[in-house]
Structure 1
Amino acid sequence: MPPEGPGRPAAPAADALPVLHGIRVLDLGRYIAGPFCAALLGDLGAEVTRIERIDGGEDRGVTPVAGDGTGALFLQVNRNKRCIALDIARPEGQAVLRRQVAQADVVVANLPPPTLRRLGLDYETLAAIRPDIILTTTSAFGEGGPLGDRPGFDGVAQAMSGAMHLSGEPGRPAKLMVSCVDFATALAGAFGTLAALHERQRTGRGQQVSGSLLGTALTIANNALIEEALLHPGREAAGNRSPLGGPSDTFRVRDGWIIVQVMGDPLFRRWAALIGRPDLADAPRFATDQSRGDHGEELSALMAAWCAGHDVESALSALAAARIPCGPVLAPRQVLADPHIRASGAFRALDYPGLPQPAPIARPPVSLSRTPPTIRRRAPQPGEHTEAILAESGYDTAAIAALARAGIVRLAREPDAVPAAHPA
């Protein structure tokens, strides 16, 4: 387990409140784009309440790691939240939801537009309850096209953006096996929500923040799409080799793999000197990044020959001494043991009931010097805070018990402990 090393973010200043102190967020998202957006707002100090199905929802079990089947993904994207288990499809559940909305500043929901309308989560319905509400939504394809009402996941967006066509090998498209589009969409959603909150401070008015997985994927792939629109190169996949410079590829060394990325004339000249071929720096076919990308197979072959005489440590040491961007290709187990990652304090160790050991939850991807985002609370169990949240909303004990008997809410009486960070 990586420790919380000396590089961990600084503690908040003694006189500083969190950035989003006093902001209340309702999270009705599922899987990644919505829940992680809400988690990022929670990292910044917002009070986030996850509203989920009575049975806990289908997104709890992705990559199960806990005794109750809770998954690694859920632990990551639902930190800093309390949870109420609520059947919002029934009229009594809708009444509970409306009371929560009336007390909220932000509602996050990554659901198709028809589902939002059916559940009363569209902007017009929410604004009728609280006029200055901010609704942050994410759909698969966005509105305005024939696919707007369809569901979709990260991989579909990767496929439709051109990214899969350009990945893998020719004739064999490949999907990135981490959900880059989902997480980038969540980051964009948090960015838009912060902008809407800032605007509300000036005008007192709410608005809807909208994003889509496809829109995010097209943004990520935009460089390739611009090139195709203007120059029509018809690019195909080239494995890990970049078509835009070189050598930029993955290479086998005696005890593993490394990645090397040479871009720009100064880097190329240093690389050519490193492998003992300074003449390459003046060869016309390698005069620009694009020409080096066009002749990338030749450059990768030269680099592969150099790498064959090295192990990971010696190759990276020589490349780093030449100031050439490089790194090891690490398996997940190696990531957790990597000296730099351990020293940087990249993870917050949090317990969850039924885990064999504390889980390494990645810290927020940005920090602030005086009011840094923090991970204060583990992900919740199903309905763990239902009773407390309803009581705060004005329901008395009898009313809460009646809702539970009717199956409108699910109660859980586990103690609401917030575990401290664990040492290595």
Structure 2
Amino acid sequence: MTATGPLSGIRVLDLTSVLFGPYAAQMLGDWGADIIKVEPPAGDTWRYTGVFRNRGMSGQFMAVNRNKRSLALDLKHPDGKAALARLIPTVDALVTNVRPAAMARLGFGYEACAKLNPRLIYAAATGFGQDGPWAARPAFDEIIQAASGLASSIGSDEEPAFVPSLIGDKICAMAMVGAVSAALFRRERTGQGQMVEVPMLETIAGFNSIEMLGGHAFDPPIGPTGYKRMKNRRPVKTKDGWLTMLPYSGDNWCAFFEAVGRPELSDELGVRDPVLRSQNIDKIYDRMSEIGPTRTTAEWEQLLLRLDVPHTAFAKLTEIGEQPHLAAVGLFAEIDHPTEGRIRQARPATKFSESPAGIHRMAPHLGEHSREVLREAGLSDAEIQAAIDSKAVGVA
């Protein structure tokens, strides 16, 4: 398919691996950009992580590397470096999660790349801001969850706990997409390229602080950290399953307790006053756990829809494609990959009325597009073959 997203016509060099950088680059590709994924001869390590039918094409890899072309380059080989240097002037942006000091040693730090292409948006996905003492440290999702306070807010200061998802990588990827898009917009106005840095620790610490600083949002602190309602949220057991429900105003709560035959709870729990309601949220959830098993999930949904109370049954991961709303909007697409067979992926969720995002290219095999990308950069067939023979370039 032809890319139709709002970034159609933009070319991006994707020098990233694993999740943070590749997911960001994929979103740019979903929005129409031509993404050239530059991989080492052994490939992105994410290719081999998780479940796969064929080695090097795991489901996790394919989930964040569609809408890309793969170019395998050995950037420690002179011919590999020369090939990348030929590519840089042809692109609009370069995204990398190689540590900046290592990129500089390779000869592709920001200053060197800006000389090759002054209009380049050079986006660095880093673990820690490069103006801080941890600049050179390696970082992974659990490191960031720990250092940002996120693990403490999920568990407690005494016993922290990790979110069982690579949430730091994925949140930072979304921040990277916004940053690259904003920098491209400024370049269209000024003609100037620039360096963009998205540090994981700072991004997640700021993200987590919105509600979790609590009383420490004031100086001096006027209360404890954390957000009590978040700590007390829990699923409600029904007669035949699980539900979450959240009456959201005093009137909503009163109507709910009236409908379930417990009108006295409105005064007992102070639900009309938002401050009292927040203070009593643990007691409210205790009452909800008593009330929940009196009806089936379907009966609860019928009542809560009538009262206009926000709610939903819990979706199982094994059945997420059948979740009623997601099934109706067709979020999960089933696609025939030319070598990996039938695969299931979430399509781009963001909608553009005049320039729709979409899946127009399957996740590539390592080096699948090496020849065509290098031809586009101006290398002759003889030069490309020589680089392949010297092992500086890999082909599928």
TM-score by length of 2: 0.91
- In 2, Cα distance between equivalents of 1:17 and 1:123: 30
- In 2, Cα distance between equivalents of 1:111 and 1:262: 46
Do the aligned residues in 2 keep the contact of 1:168 with 1:174 (CA within 8 Å)? yes
CA deviation after TM superposition for structure 1 residue 93, in Å: 0.9
Distance 1:217 1:376, change over 3 A: same
- In 2, Cα distance between equivalents of 1:37 and 1:358: 24
SS in 2 for 1:249: coil
Distance 1:257 1:44, change over 3 A: same
* 2:375 aligns with one of 374, 377, 391: 391
SS in 1 for 2:69: strand
- Number of residues of Structure 1 aligned to a counterpart in Structure 2: 393
CA deviation after TM superposition for structure 1 residue 214, in Å: 1.4
Confirm whether residue 219 of structure 1 aligns to residue 206 of structure 2: yes
- In 2, Cα distance between equivalents of 1:188 and 1:39: 13
* 2:365 aligns with one of 376, 381, 388: 381
Cα deviation per residue 1:56-77 (whole Å; 9 max; x = unaligned)? 1212122222322422221111
Equivalent position of 1:62 in the other structure: 49
Equivalent position of 2:353 in the other structure: 369
What aligned pairs does 1:204-283 form with structure 2 within 5 A after superposition?
204-222=191-209, 223-225=211-213, 227-230=215-218, 231=221, 233-235=223-225, 243-244=228-229, 248-283=233-268
Which region of structure 1 is more displaced relative to structure 2, 315-324 or 142-151?
315-324
- In 1, Cα distance between equivalents of 2:92 and 2:231: 49
- In 2, Cα distance between equivalents of 1:217 and 1:314: 39
| Amino acid in structure 2 at the alignment position of 1:32 | L
- Percent of paired sites with the same residue: 30
- In 2, Cα distance between equivalents of 1:261 and 1:116: 49
CA deviation after TM superposition for structure 1 residue 163, in Å: 2.0
| Amino acid in structure 2 at the alignment position of 1:38 | A
Equivalent position of 1:46 in the other structure: 33
Confirm whether residue 98 of structure 1 aligns to residue 85 of structure 2: yes
* 1:408 aligns with one of 376, 392, 396: 392
- In 1, Cα distance between equivalents of 2:314 and 2:150: 21
Confirm whether residue 186 of structure 1 aligns to residue 173 of structure 2: yes
Cα deviation per residue 1:367-413 (whole Å; 9 max; x = unaligned)? 1111111111111010001111112222222222221111111112x
Cα deviation per residue 1:110-163 (whole Å; 9 max; x = unaligned)? 232212212233211110101110011111122222112111122222222222
Structure with greater helix percent: 2
CA deviation after TM superposition for structure 1 residue 41, in Å: 1.3
Equivalent position of 1:341 in the other structure: 326
Do the aligned residues in 2 keep the contact of 1:66 with 1:353 (CA within 8 Å)? no
In structure 2, runs of 5+ residues without a counterpart are none
- In 2, Cα distance between equivalents of 1:288 and 1:159: 36
- In 1, Cα distance between equivalents of 2:254 and 2:140: 43
Cα deviation per residue 1:142-198 (whole Å; 9 max; x = unaligned)? 222211211112222222222221224784432222222222211111111111111
- In 2, Cα distance between equivalents of 1:61 and 1:255: 40
CA deviation after TM superposition for structure 1 residue 333, in Å: 0.8
What do you get for the CA RMSD once the two structures are aligned? 2.4
Do the aligned residues in 1 keep the contact of 2:70 with 2:367 (CA within 8 Å)? yes
Which region of structure 1 is more displaced relative to structure 2, 218-227 or 46-55?
218-227
CA deviation after TM superposition for structure 1 residue 252, in Å: 1.7
Distance 1:181 1:152, change over 3 A: same
SS in 2 for 1:65: coil
Equivalent position of 2:309 in the other structure: 324
Equivalent position of 1:293 in the other structure: 278
SS in 2 for 1:273: helix
Distance 1:120 1:289, change over 3 A: farther
Do the aligned residues in 1 keep the contact of 2:213 with 2:225 (CA within 8 Å)? no
